[in-house]
């Protein structure tokens, strides 16, 4: 006798709570019929003060505004802009950004790489490979992009302004009050709202208030990174280098204590490089005048193709690499922190900005479960619970890549390379030291749905299963 299927039993299919792709074929149908709309409007409209107009702050403002809240951003700089060069927008982030209506704002500036190739430091031999097109769109319903950080920021800013978000520039916040839900600016003025959301970065003022004057200890990685760009026209005119520009791709050379991540940005006009190397010195002692020559010296003896590209750079900036420690709380009263203020991490999973994007949509979703202002504390507590776990795990994954990529030649390096060989050869595999390719890590990292996790946490809260605030 046949057992009842979903149709005969009247019980619809639901996505499993455990990591599995067994229902991937029906994912869109299941989510359309069973889940509420993305970024549902909140029954309670809040006046929200948002501190910081960086990437995380702008995304959060967009998500909160889309959910029906009134948002005003206070930004300390007098002119909006971003420093740095390339940044990756992985599929878990683009999926959210598209839901927020950012696709047309981003696409003029993005490049969609076809793959990520891990290369041996000495000769550039491909030792690991992740296929991005079409795999990531097929499996995670969103492309994997790279973009210039300034273009990413300007796209977010334009979207926020088009939605009517007010951005007050030259407004440096020097204090926050978690009881009143207020901020104090350097000019002495005070501004209040129903909730203060601080996306004020690694040097967060709000975090100090939330931790009652204590500072979050940062974990020094022992590494720093040079950032540089090369004009692709220089590379294209060189027969030894032009092949690397034929198809958009990320290439990462890995070796003893060092790696170099490269990809084109500016819709293919510039070649971006991030060069990680050992450095435990105080950044205050760094000499910007020697950064370019110091960068070249760090990678002497590496693959001639790579060193030739490095030699074409005309300037470089050196950045310290720090990882925040795991915080036990992101909220206190009417104050919430998110983004780098809450979970600064190494860039080795290319997920720092993506975590801020997830934070923003998760907060908006949690607030949308409120039926009255009296549930504000519950809403921010649930947001905190869900996001602390996710961001903490991503910090851990980033730290692990800092070990996996930096083996000296020897038994561990040989075992790692052998374990990645199947993905290069096109042979089926069920695990890989390449976390972009490892099937379990892929599903956890890129298939994560921040709104779904918030919904599930609210469901548990309704059954009395939500964890208490730490």
- Residues tagged active-site: 227
Pair 449, 357: CB distance under 8 Å: no
What is the number of alpha carbons within 13 Å of residue 101 lying toward its C-beta? 12
Please spell the DSSP secondary structure of 394-417, one letter per residue. Answer: HHHHHHHHHHHTTPPTTHHHHHHH
Helix ranges (DSSP H) in 221-316: 232-236, 291-298, 304-311
The two three-digit tokens of residue 132, written as one number: 């991005």
Closest alpha carbon to 283 in 344, 220, 345: 220
Is the backbone peptide bond immediately before 134 cis, with ω within 30 degrees of 0?
Answer: yes
Sheet holding 331-332, edge to edge: 166-168, 70-74, 47-51, 195-198, 335-337, 331-332
Phi and psi for 19 in degrees, rounded to 5?
A: -65, 110
Distance CA 431, CA 193 (A): 49
Distance CA 213, CA 209 (A): 6
User: Helix (H, G, I), strand (E, B), or coil: what is residue 331?
Assistant: strand
The two three-digit tokens of residue 462, written as one number: 């309704």
Distance CA 317, CA 149 (A): 15
Distance CA 241, CA 243 (A): 6
The two three-digit tokens of residue 342, written as one number: 């809450």
């Amino acid at each position: 006798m046949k057992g009842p299927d979903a149709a005969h039993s009247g019980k619809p299919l639901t996505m499993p709570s455990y990591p599995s792709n067994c229902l991937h074929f029906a994912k869109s149908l299941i989510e359309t019929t069973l889940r509420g709309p993305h970024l549902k409007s909140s029954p309670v409209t809040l006046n929200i003060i948002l501190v910081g107009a960086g990437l995380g702050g702008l995304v959060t403002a967009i998500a909160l505004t889309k959910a029906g809240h009134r948002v005003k951003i206070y930004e300390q700089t007098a002119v909006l802009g971003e420093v740095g060069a390339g940044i990756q927008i992985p599929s878990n982030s683009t999926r959210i950004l598209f839901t927020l209506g950012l696709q047309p704002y981003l696409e003029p500036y993005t490049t969609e790489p076809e793959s990520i190739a891990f290369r041996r430091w000495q000769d550039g031999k491909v030792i690991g490979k992740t296929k991005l097109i079409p795999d990531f769109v097929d499996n995670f319903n969103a492309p994997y992009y790279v973009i210039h950080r300034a273009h990413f920021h300007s796209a977010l800013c334009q979207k926020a302004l088009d939605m009517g978000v007010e951005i007050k520039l030259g407004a440096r916040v020097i204090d926050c009050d978690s009881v009143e839900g207020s901020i104090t600016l350097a000019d002495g003025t005070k501004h209040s709202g129903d909730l203060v959301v601080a996306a004020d970065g690694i040097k967060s003022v709000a975090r100090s208030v939330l931790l009652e004057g204590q500072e979050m200890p940062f974990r020094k990685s022992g590494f720093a990174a040079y950032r540089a760009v090369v004009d692709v026209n220089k590379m294209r005119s060189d027969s030894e280098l032009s092949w690397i520009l034929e198809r958009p791709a990320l290439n990462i050379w890995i070796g003893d204590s060092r790696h170099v991540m490269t990809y084109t940005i500016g819709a293919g006009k510039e070649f971006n490089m991030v060069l990680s190397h050992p450095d435990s010195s105080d950044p205050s002692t760094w000499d910007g005048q020697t950064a370019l020559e110091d960068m070249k010296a760090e990678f002497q003896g590496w693959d001639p193709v790579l060193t030739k590209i490095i030699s074409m750079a005309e300037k470089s900036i050196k950045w310290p690499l720090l990882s925040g420690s795991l915080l036990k709380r992101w909220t206190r009263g009417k104050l919430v922190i998110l983004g780098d203020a809450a979970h600064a991490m190494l860039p080795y999973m290319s997920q720092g900005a993506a975590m801020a994007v997830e934070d923003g949509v998760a907060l908006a979703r949690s607030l949308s479960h409120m039926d009255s202002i009296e549930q504000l504390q519950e809403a921010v507590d649930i947001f905190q619970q869900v996001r602390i776990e996710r961001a903490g795990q991503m910090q851990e994954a980033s730290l692990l890549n800092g070990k996996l990529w930096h083996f000296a030649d020897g038994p561990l390096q040989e075992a790692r390379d052998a374990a990645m060989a199947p993905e290069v050869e096109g042979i089926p595999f069920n695990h890989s030291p390449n976390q972009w390719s490892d099937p379990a890590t892929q599903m956890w990292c890129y298939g994560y749905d921040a709104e779904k996790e918030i919904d599930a946490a609210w469901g548990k809260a309704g059954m009395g299963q939500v964890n208490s605030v730490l």
